[in-house]
Structure 1
Amino acid sequence: MGRFSDFLGKELGARQVWLFFLLATLLYVVPLILADYSYIDDNWRSLSAGMAWSEQGRLFTQLFYNLLTFSGAAPNIYPLPLLIATLAMASALTRLTLHYFPQPTLACCLVPLPLWYNPFFLQNLSYQYDGPAMALSLVAVIYAITFRHPSRSRQWLVPSLLIALALGLYQISLNVFLGLCCLELLRGVNERWAWPQLRGLIGWKLAQVTVGWLMYCVSAVAFMAQDRTLLLNWSAAPLLQLQINIGRVLEKVVLLFHGGFTWVFAALLVCAIAGGVQLGLKILERRESLPNKALIGLLCLLTLPLVVLLVSGVALFFRDFNEGARTLMGFAVLLVLLFYLSHLALAQIHERLPLLLVVPLLAMLSLSFAYGRVLTVQKTFATSALMSLQYDISSHRPLREAKRIYLSVTYSDHWLLGAAGSFKQMPVLHYLLNIDFYMLAENLPKVGITNVVAEKERRNATRVGYQGYPALVERPYYRIYLLGDYGFIVMTEPAPIKALRW
């Protein structure tokens, strides 16, 4: 017991820190690897070894898969890319920990871990193709923050290149870089950096992000589809559009705070406030002029709303606003900020008290395993649906030989009844899953059915226009109609989850 107690408080070497992060990062993705579920875009990519990342401004994601598969396409090699990204993340978190704490203990290692244990990042990692690239963009951002070199030209150039690389992997990672810059300022104030040093830090970071963005524009924007670059319509109440977008993000974030999560994060917030007060007292104790103290205090205060805004960040300003959990990478930095300030407050009381930060981390790890089970249920349901459709189409010759079968586009929140209990107890799981369809047309070629297409230009004519005709096939979740050489699959939505009795 004594040795274990000593281990909790002793200084760790770089190798021990890396081993800790390797175990922690792998543990977080184990449920996703075990589920092995092809998530949304993975279906068409795995069928055709498809790319199409360059037109989304993610040229380096495309190059990553070209290099990794030794081909000009992207054959499915999951989970190898995720394992590579996880190893890279363990190294990046080690570097960040040593950057924040030159003499790290186990409690210090807990502070940057939310960059990986971000609950909303689970949706990013659900993508077997895109997830590893998104994780590598996070790695590039961390290395951009921690890079140090005596040469001024390298100190300016290398982080800029890393930022451009991160943006070329996933543009939303810019939110993480800007958020970590805010944390750098708070760290500098806590370590009593002089005002010229703090001012230099701000200048360097602004220069790095500007040059990095320009490099990215030169390398990737030329390949990007035009609709991906459209910003908000500034002639039509842009502030109202921003307000609406922020409100939609807030509605989604609130889903996380349910049950025990509410109390855990409330306690974390209280500790962070105590740490913020402690940081404010250090500003008052500085041997600076009163205007400099006021300016430093104001900058520290401004970092808090800025980090909150960066939860969705740059995504708020695009006309094609996406409120999906995968765009909330900035929430990780908000968590790291709360952890850092909480560490300051708890360490002031006792050196081992910051180990209590393991509690919210365990809550997020628990959410990861719960989400993994939901993915497994979804995989079982999707496989059953696929086999049912395959059997019905194959066993009816007119359907098998139809020129085309239209699959209606029917969205519902109630398809996955098998996970209703989990959704009720952890509402954020439904938001993370983000699957509101019964079946994707691109799934059917996996079982030899090639004449089914998703109904797009027909604007749901299948769902509303053929229900007066007798169905050739009728199942609990769908009906199949046949008119001449064309078939129509019409979905039948299940009862809402709230109507069930347990």
Structure 2
Amino acid sequence: MKISEWLDKELTGRQVGLMFVFATLIYILPLILADFPYIDDNWRALAAGTGWAQEGRLFAQWFYNLLTFSGAAPNIFPLPLLIATLAMSWALTRLTFHYFPEPTVAHCLVVLPLWYNPFFLQNLSYQYDGPTMALSLVAVIYAITFRSPSRVQQLLIPAALIALAIGLYQVSFNVFLGLCCLEWLRGANDQLPWPAWWRSIGCKVVQVSLAGLIYYATAYAFMTQSRTSLLNGAAAPLLQVEINAGRVLEKIVLLVHGGFAWVFAALLLCAIVGAVGVGQRVLKRTDTGVNKTIIGLLCLLLLPLLMLLVPGASLFFRDFNEGARTLMGFAVALVLLFYLSHRALATVHGKLPLLLLVPLLAMLSLSFAYGRVLTLQKTFATTALYALSTDIASRPALRDAKRIYMSVTYSDHWLVSAAGSFKQLPVLHYLLNTDFYMLAENLPKAGITNVVREKERRNATRVGYQGYPPLVDSLFYRIYLLGDYGFIVMKEPVRVPSLQW
């Protein structure tokens, strides 16, 4: 069979599944090859620790208890990530057939951004948390695609899946709401009858309500209240939401740089044409003018709602987190762009939707670039660990100190070896989010157990001991010793304006 014929033919469930297995595995390959313990992974691997239950993620803790046959979480990376990736392949297969009963290769490309979300790379960087975050996406997709002739099952099973997703990672709820918006937009495009359209909305409302009850009765009971504080209503909350949204937009703009800007501009243009086509389909409905107007207005409201769901509920929390791992909703925005672009391109020529491969290849390229940055960070972290542990182990006064406090100095210039990549792809630095020299949790790997991160002292070492002669004065840090206590003070790394060889 010729390649052109294969691209046009209807695919079987097995063929679609194998295609997604390949596509999802190749996306995570750079992360597996880098094998870099990312931030929280250090202390979790050291103590085989869990700690997810108090974060409202009880099911993440159960996942590792079951997978490791223990009451803790020994490090078994990359097994959890491989399991989650295969599960995601099955979920994407199910979603493809949900959207397109007779899928081709081009149809499969439409749903792939749920995994090829550039910001999701930070989620997957966590060797412990990444797999459970991926599984939360799987649960959300199954909740959207579940169909049963029984009304009770149609309400309860998706509700249980939504509660499972939230109990694995709360941010995945943004993805569920985004996929609901996409469902209703598809319903308008496919001219779903007026009663069925509203029944779909009502069904989702009931499912979410039941999911909230299930989550409240299970994982939420273990959650500490400190993580649920909303914005202060007496301190201009709308202004704070606006500020938070602006900070998120600044991070998203980092992705639109260089060639990525042209790729996303073309994708957006095609999506606009596709959106106009959906509007025309709404106007051609046989409903009354009032019904068509209501559906049209709701479809218009769904678009800004999808954009709001990129950061989602995190905008309204007092402890706002602008990390890339909270932008899981961006994946649904990409799926919407791909869906509308597919419609626009397919009306011109049957093979044009295959052009969606271009933005997917761009995101795959970003994954490999990010994998190389992780490798560079791993090399730098290993060298830093060797230098610091050697300085401590080779000096009896430091080796025998009761406690050595380490101050944390954040900087954008620690990883000099990736400066060129950061300049060409600014989003890489945002994804890496490792802007410190060393964590105290790393030192036990080298046998140093008396170093702790400075907490209550509020970085007193940076200003309180500058007048004393340092026992160690290296390129990156100074170590002071006062009595039985040591203090590691990081230096601001040297800025390199340009590297030319």
Q: Give 1:58-457 correspondences, 5 Å limit.
A: 58-457=57-456
Q: Please report how far the alpha carbon of residue 499 of structure 1 lies from its aligned counterpart in structure 2 after TM superposition.
A: 6.1
Equivalent position of 2:30 in the other structure: 31
- Residues in 1 aligned to 2:204 and 2:284: alpha-carbon distance in whole angstroms: 26
Q: Are 1:4 and 2:15 counterparts?
A: no
- After TM superposition, which residue ranges in structure 1, 4 or more long, deviate above 6 angstroms? none
Cα deviation for residue 16 of structure 1 reads: 0.2
3-state SS of paired residue (2:466): coil
Q: State the Cα distance separating 1:490 from its structure 2 match.
A: 1.0
Query: Which residue of 1 is the match for residue 491 of structure 2?
Result: 492
Question: What SS class does the counterpart of residue 478 from structure 2 fall into?
Answer: strand
The CA deviation at 1:370 is 0.2
- The answer to whether 1:464 aligns with 2:484 is no
Measure how far apart 1:498 and its partner are.
Answer: 3.5
CA distance in 1, matches of 2:393, 2:236: 53
Cα displacement string for residues 107-138 of structure 1 (whole angstroms, at most 9, x for unaligned residues): 00000000000000000000000000000000
How far apart in 2 are the matches of 1:315 and 1:81?
27
State the secondary structure of the residue aligned to 2:350. coil
Q: CA deviation at 1:315?
A: 1.0
Consecutive unaligned residues of structure 2, counting only runs of 5 or more, are none
CA distance in 1, matches of 2:216, 2:497: 48
The one-character-per-residue Cα deviations of 1:397-431 (angstroms, maximum 9, x if unpaired) are 11101111111121111100110000000000000
CA-to-aligned-CA distance 1:75-125 (integer Å, 9 cap, x gap): 000000000000000000000000000000000000000000000000000
What secondary structure sits across from 2:480 in the alignment?
Answer: strand
Once residues 483 and 337 of structure 1 are traced to their aligned partners in structure 2, the CA distance between those partners, rounded to angstroms, is 60
Q: CA deviation at 1:501?
A: 5.9
464-473 or 291-300, which deviates more: 464-473
Give the aligned residue type for 2:70: S
Q: In the TM superposition, what whole-angstrom CA distance separates every residue of 1:121-172 from its partner, at most 9, and x where no partner exists?
A: 0000000000000000000000000000000000010000000000000000
C-alpha deviation, 1:462, in angstroms: 0.9
Distance, in Å, in 1 between the alignment partners of 2:216 and 2:313 is 15
Helix, strand or coil at the partner of 1:236: coil
CA deviation profile, 1:224-269 (whole Å, cap 9, x unmatched)? 1111111111121111111111011111111000000000000000
Instruction: Find the aligned partners of 1:103 and 1:345 in 2 and give their Cα distance.
Output: 19
**Partner SS for 2:357:** helix
- How far off is 1:393 after superposition? 0.6
SS at match of 1:111: helix
CA drift of 1:365 comes to 0.2
1:500: how far off? Answer: 5.5
Could you list the per-position Cα deviations for residues 292-316 of structure 1 after superposition, in whole angstroms to 9, with x for gaps in the alignment?
0101101111110000000000111
**CA 258–419 in structure 1, closer or farther in 2 if over 3 Å, else same:** same
Q: Which moved more, 1:165-174 or 1:491-500?
A: 491-500
Q: What is the CA-CA distance between 1:364 and the residue it aligns to?
A: 0.2
Matched pairs, number: 501
TM-score (norm 1): 0.99
| Partner residue, 1:474 | 473
Whole-angstrom distance in 2 between the partners of 1:418 and 1:106: 39
Report the 3-state secondary structure (helix = DSSP H, G, I; strand = E; otherwise coil) of the residue aligned with 1:319. Answer: coil
Equivalent AA in structure 2 for residue 244 of structure 1: I
Deviations 1:2-41 (A, max 9, x none): 7111001110000000000000000000000000000000
> 1:217: how far off?
1.3
Secondary structure of the equivalent of 1:256?
coil
**Which range is displaced more, 462-471 or 3-12?**
462-471
> C-alpha displacement at 1:464, in angstroms?
1.3
Q: Report deviation, 1:461.
A: 1.1
In the other structure, the counterpart of 1:55 is 54
Structure 1 unaligned regions, length at least 5: none
User: Structure 1 counterpart of 2:74, which letter?
Assistant: P
Partner of 1:293: helix, strand, or coil? helix
What is the CA distance between 1:497 and its match in structure 2? 4.4
Deviations 1:32-67 (A, max 9, x none): 000000000000000000011000000000000000
**Structure 2 CA distance, aligned partners of 1:365 and 1:499?**
27
Q: Which stretch of structure 1 is more off in the superposition, 346-355 or 94-103?
A: 346-355
The separation in 2 between residues aligned to 1:495 and 1:295, in whole angstroms, is: 59
Distance in 2 (alpha carbons) for counterparts of 1:361 and 1:496: 34
Counterpart CA distance in 1 for 2:232 and 2:407 is 32
Q: Distance in 2 between matches of 1:30 and 1:223?
A: 35
Any idea what the Cα deviations from partners look like across 1:422-476, whole Å, max 9, x if unmatched? 0000000000000111000011011100000111111111111112211111111
1:312-354 per-position Cα deviation (integer Å, ceiling 9, x unaligned): 0011111111000000000000000000000111111111110
Q: Distance in 2 between matches of 1:157 and 1:331?
A: 27
C-alpha distance in structure 1 between counterparts of 2:257 and 2:208, whole Å: 36
Structure 2 SS opposite 1:198: helix
Secondary structure in 2 aligned to 1:457?
coil
How far residue 496 of structure 1 moved from its aligned partner, in angstroms, is 2.7
Distance in 1 between the 2:442 and 2:459 partners? 20
| CA distances 1:476-497 after superposition (whole Å, capped 9, x unpaired) | 1111111111111111111234
CA distance in 2, matches of 1:332, 1:498: 34
Structure 1 window deviating more from structure 2 (465-474 vs 154-163): it is 465-474
SS of the residue 2:493 aligns to: coil
Distance 1:272 1:61 in 2: 36
Letter of the 1:138 partner, please give it. L
Question: Which stretch of the first structure deviates more once superposed, 475-484 or 132-141?
Answer: 475-484
Give the superposition deviation at 1:279. 0.6
CA–CA distance in 2 between the matches of 1:191 and 1:335? 20
